[in-house]
Amino acid sequence: MAALDPPYACNLSAMREIPGAWRRTAQGAGLLSDTGAAAPTIFAEMSALAAHTGAVNLGQGFPDEDGPAAVLDAARDAISSGANQYAPGRGVAALRDAVADHQQRFYGLTPDPDTEILITAGATEALAATLLALIDSPDDEVVVFEPYYDSYAACVALAGARLVTVPLRWPDFQPDLDDLSRAVTDHTRIILVNDPHNPTGAVFSAATRQEIVRLAERHDAIVVTDEVYEHLVFGEPHVPLATLAGAHERTLSISSAGKTFSTTGWKIGWVSGPADLVDAVLAVKQFLTYVNGTPFQHAIAAGLALPDDFFSGVAAALRAKRDLLGVGLEAAGFTVSRPAGSYFTVADARALMAPGTDAADFCRALPERVGVVAIPLTAFVSRPHRADYATLVRFAACKREDVIADAAGRLAGLAGLAR
């Protein structure tokens, strides 16, 4: 996508001659412009566009309502009671205990809270620290499913490794197991698996999960999971890869409180797995943020202890929003891929696009045309594969029902407008 004019863009011209790893990081994320400057992420760009135009923001995935009062109150209490200084390097004990209890309650996993759990500044830091910690050679490869969350390609490039992609294809976005098996080789250091998946909303099948573990064992790769949408599934309960036979000793599981508790601004995440792998991540993590968010760590400990019906309730509420969004998109003329989990729904906008344009053009014009912001799937795809996703758009369902209904009403106006 072309860079936006100020005020959305960062200072593009000032960065051009500055040597450093920023360049390969931006390039890895597809954000290095033709002039050699780094553009902001698609999420920053599109949220700025929504703020500027007053459009309904179904772009960046963040809820527009607060999470459970008990969790918000626990943060206030923690601040009032003086939990305002550095947390221990691995995170406050109450949260590490709560993560351990959560892993046991939902998945039967039994991580040791003292050695096998590390609290991080969101899943983003957990992912960055993990990739930086475990990648050691330009010949190392990291296998990801494409489309992929933007930070994966950025961090793999920063760490100096090669990204190898396995395509997820419209409309169900399940990987072909032969593609997967071809992608994983003895060069594979990490298989990075986001399930439930952003941006497609796919939940991987048992066969895919088994094949990932089989290939990781066969090629001695580490499995890194991104399970930030673990509680936002609309069918069967989530199955962590770490629960599969043979997986535990080679798997680092990453998650975050942001989605489950509607606290994306708190940036409390965690990684769990075998002590030696967690120690390796800690060795890097402690020089990124050292620690973060002490009172919020206490509050999320309270959140993770909420009863089961809280967790089933968030999934049910999001499922209703997904359904509302899906019906609205279809009525507006999109073809919809029904997601099995996550905040997101992918829709094909082909019928609504002017000839010769793509989803990036469509999304850039959408705020002006009907007052809605959405994200083109090409933002999650490496340059050589963008044509395969050129008509697909991601909409976020994690908004109030009246907001989704408003957006659907606006999108319905597309059919009557000139393209």
> What residues make contact with ligand GLN under the rule CB under 6 A?
41, 43, 60-61, 198
Nearer to ligand GLN, 232 or 271 (CB): 232
Helix (H) or strand (E) holding 269: strand 269-272
Tell me the closest approach of the beta carbon of residue 249 to ligand PMP, in angstroms: 24
- Select from ligand GLN, ligand PMP, none the partner in contact with residue 30, using the beta carbon and a kind-dependent cut-off of 5 to 8 Å: none
Reference 141, options 204, 220, 197; nearest CA is 220
Judged by beta carbon distances under 5 to 8 A according to partner kind, the member of ligand GLN, ligand PMP, none in contact with residue 194 is ligand PMP
As a whole number of angstroms, the distance between CA 377 and CA 194 comes to: 16
Give the integer Cα–Cα distance in Å for 323 and 404: 10
The residue among 257 and 372 lying less far from ligand PMP, judged by its C-beta, is 257
Q: Which of residues 31-60 bind ligand PMP (CB under 6 A)?
A: none
DSSP 24-65: HHHHHTT-B-TTSPBPPPHHHHHHHHHHHHT-EE-SS---SS
Partner interacting with residue 341 (select from ligand PMP, ligand GLN, none; CB below 5-8 Å by kind): none
Segment 118 to 177, residues that bind ligand PMP, using CB under 6 A: 122-124, 149
CB of 21 to ligand GLN, least distance (A): 19
Residue 258 contacts ligand PMP per CB under 6 A: yes
Residues in 60-89 at the binding interface with ligand PMP, rule: CB under 6 A: 61
- CA 240 centroid distance within chain: 16
At residue 167, φ and ψ (nearest 5 deg) are: -75, 140
In the region spanning residues 212 to 251, those forming contacts with ligand PMP, defined by CB under 6 A, are 226, 228
20-26, long-range: CB within 8 Å, 24+ apart, which pairs?
21/158, 24/157, 24/158, 24/160, 25/154, 25/155, 25/157, 25/158, 26/154
Our CB check for ligand PMP shows the closer of 258 and 376 to be 258
Select the residue interacting with ligand PMP from 263, 264, 272, 294 (CB under 6 A). Answer: 264
Angle made by CA atoms 147, 150, 151, in degrees to the nearest 5: 135
Residue nearest to ligand PMP (CB): 122
Task: Give the torsion sign (CA, 110, 116, 118, 122).
Answer: negative
In the list ligand GLN, ligand PMP, none, the entry touching 43 (Cβ below 5 to 8 angstroms by class) is ligand GLN
